[in-house]
Structure 1
Amino acid sequence: MKNMMFQQLSSSRIHTLTENPLSVSECKKKFAAKLGTQHYYIEVVNLEDGIIYENEREIQGLSTPLQIMVGNPDRKIPSYLVTTEPDMIMQDEDDEEPRLKMSCGHAITPYNLFGYMKSTLMCDVKSAVCCPTTDCNAEWDMREIAKKADMTEDERIFFERKISFNLVNQDNNSTSECPSCGHFCQRQQDVLRIRCIICTKKNGGAFDFCWNCKAPWFTDHKCSNKELEAFQRILNDAPLKKIDMSEIEGVPSKRMCPNCRYLIEHLQACKTMQCTKCKTVFCFSCLKVAVNGRLPCGNYNQKCTVARVQNVFEAQ
């Protein structure tokens, strides 16, 4: 069996492992040990297609050397950028986490800035990152985001490529993201049954999904509860993680917004989450919604209970 090779986006050096992990999650732990960092700051990516691979994804079928993006474990703010104004996402004047001002005048922490940017580009597949403050919507330049979120060179390379990729594909009505791997798939004429060539190659058998509802394709498929069933499988299969800043363990890494039910993935840092669709602020662990900008379960760095995996078939 050949040794596994991997390469940081910002480096020409190719590293080699003498063992062959089976999943992305296992790879990240091995890569982290090799690079002297922690595994939750590493992502296995596909720069060309703008994909960050899920932890449970099998390595078999991925091109080598594997491309990795190493993140920043300690995002700092230059002293001249520090402000005491409340974070535009958390809206808590008593929050002690350092904040900075964006060019539009609104404040945010570097961790929230990075998380919001990543969610906008990866989950919403937008081609621009705009201020989430009501009635602002100012577009932020990627160079400003990279500087103020204290992004690594790996992160800068990947997300600058991703924003260009989204721009090219945003108005393309003949492509759609595969619900399993995130690869963009081409639609043939007006058929609803779409085949992902990446998942088909990986699984050794055809993987088809519905163009409309993104549910896996079955004979006599109808866009009804199949969509909800696929959504529920995503929630059920989401890996459990530790929210580091609150030291809360066993939290599902994917949740529905408790207000609009939009699917959200926790990326890093604290438990406070703002839905990029409806702007509701809530706790990713206990799922309680913020009241007047404050979480009922305590500050961003305080422990709270872990709510069970959500059920999409339950009424709100």
Structure 2
Amino acid sequence: MKGKVMEESTLRIPKFVLPPVGHLSYIMLSEKHQYFVRKVKTVMELKVEIAKQHQCSKNSVDIIDECSYVPHLNQMSVECLSFPIAVVLHEENRSATDLPSAMHSVITADPDITNPNEEDTRIKMSCGHAITPENLFQYVSIQILQFKSDIYCFETNCGKTWEVGEIVKNSMMNKYEACFYKQRLKLNKRHKDPSCKNCPTCGVLCKRYSAKSPMVRCNNCSKFKGINFVFCWFCLDAWTFDHNCGDGHLNPTQASQVQEILNNCEKITVQYSNVPNVPSLRLCPNCMLLIEHAEQCKEVLCVSCKTSFCFICLSVKPSHGKLACGGYNTPCNVAPIQKLSSLILN
């Protein structure tokens, strides 16, 4: 679409072409060109075939899960892969001697911080410490797969952050590696976002756009699996019209998880009535949906069953009338943390 820029993680062939019979299709990260390769059984066999096409070592090929941005295991069946398959071709020679002349000024004779006996040409990072492009690439690769969103110099008493552009340039990443690295960093930052959780169906991070609603829609399931999947932010169950987080359908493990959420939630002060030490999460007294307090008023409305109740004392508002504990700014007694077992029995 003219004027619209798609993220690299969502790049797809504009018009998907089915591969010939007996073949698989794949694309390189950062590219839209579609390749075809003889159909094989495992990821390892697929790497071998792709390496033949591009005249490189099979160890230079990674098959990538575009949802979680991790390389697939060699023994994995290709039947489990999404199509077209995403591929990264790695640099086979990452020597600083091959740097463009404009970067020769960063070459240094200082010892490598990973190995003082390293003989390969080193590059001086912005913090002043030296490392070879290959050692830098290997270090960064480990860090991003451990969900690090900031990469630091690990020399003793340094700890300075290395910027993305500096890492890409000094580790001599090609365009495929740089695409993978940047997308993985974005994913790592989202993992730290308290408004994101993993979809219980596909595992992709999903964002909760409103603290007033526990309903979360997985765009990945909708786009690539053809299903409109909505789940509960708190218990991660599939959302239904009359969904609740604590009725008898929960198995002991799920019930224990819901109770743990209640037990460990933070305490807040409900502003208008100025009542402190109120649990920030409550189960709806009627349908047992987990609700997070997001307003200044003590009266809340359950989005599932439409029951109004006091978040402080848990008294339920009658269909026609007011809360028995008083108006929005009237203090009342704080009800203790709810016990799921007693609510189910009642």
- Flag the 1:94–1:49 CA change in 2: closer, same or farther, 3 A: closer
* Equivalent AA in structure 2 for residue 41 of structure 1: S
* Equivalent AA in structure 1 for residue 83 of structure 2: T
Residue of structure 1 aligned with 2:35, choices 4, 10, 15: 15
- 2:105 equivalent in structure 1: 80
Number of aligned positions between the proteins: 193
Residue 133 of structure 1: how far off its partner (Å): 1.3
Q: Could you give the per-residue CA deviations for residues 228-278 of structure 1, whole angstroms, max 9, x where no partner exists?
A: xxxxxxxxxxxxxxxxxxxxxxxxxxxxxxxxxxxxxxxxxxxxxxxxxxx
- 2:62 equivalent in structure 1: 43
RMSD: 3.1
Residue 154 of structure 1: how far off its partner (Å): 0.2
Residue 79 of structure 1: how far off its partner (Å): 2.9
Find out whether 1:115 has 2:138 as its counterpart. Answer: yes
1:43·1:68 contact (CA, 8 Å) conserved in 2? yes
Residue 64 of structure 1: how far off its partner (Å): 1.2
Q: Distance in 2 between matches of 1:193 and 1:46?
A: 22
Q: Distance in 1 between matches of 2:109 and 2:72?
A: 37
Instruction: Give TM-score, length-normalised by structure 2.
Output: 0.49
What are the equivalent positions in structure 2 for 1:152-301 lying under 5 Å apart?
152-172=174-194, 175=197
Q: Could you give the per-residue CA deviations for residues 155-192 of structure 1, whole angstroms, max 9, x where no partner exists?
A: 011110110111011244874699xx9999x9x87999
- Flag the 1:2–1:183 CA change in 2: closer, same or farther, 3 A: farther
- 1:149 equivalent in structure 2: 171
Q: Distance in 2 between matches of 1:109 and 1:12?
A: 32
Q: Could you give the per-residue CA deviations for residues 194-231 of structure 1, whole angstroms, max 9, x where no partner exists?
A: 99xxxxxxxxxxxxxxxxxxxxxxx999xxxxxxxxxx
Find out whether 1:69 has 2:94 as its counterpart. Answer: no
Structure possessing the higher radius of gyration over alpha carbons: 2
- 2:23 equivalent in structure 1: 3
1:51·1:183 contact (CA, 8 Å) conserved in 2? no
1:47·1:161 contact (CA, 8 Å) conserved in 2? no
Residue of structure 1 aligned with 2:149, choices 124, 127, 131: 127
Residue 11 of structure 1: how far off its partner (Å): 2.6
* Equivalent AA in structure 2 for residue 37 of structure 1: C
Q: Distance in 2 between matches of 1:132 and 1:182?
A: 30
- Flag the 1:147–1:177 CA change in 2: closer, same or farther, 3 A: farther
Indicate the structure whose relative CO is greater, using CA pairs within 8 Å and at least 6 residues apart.
1
Q: Distance in 2 between matches of 1:25 and 1:157?
A: 22
* Equivalent AA in structure 2 for residue 82 of structure 1: I
Q: Distance in 2 between matches of 1:182 and 1:44?
A: 18
Residue 80 of structure 1: how far off its partner (Å): 2.2
Q: Distance in 2 between matches of 1:175 and 1:129?
A: 23
Gaps of at least 5 residues in structure 1 are 196-218, 222-316
* Equivalent AA in structure 2 for residue 76 of structure 1: S
Counterpart secondary structure, 2:33: coil
Instruction: Give TM-score, length-normalised by structure 1.
Output: 0.54
- Flag the 1:142–1:182 CA change in 2: closer, same or farther, 3 A: same
2:44·2:74 contact (CA, 8 Å) conserved in 1? yes
Counterpart secondary structure, 1:60: helix
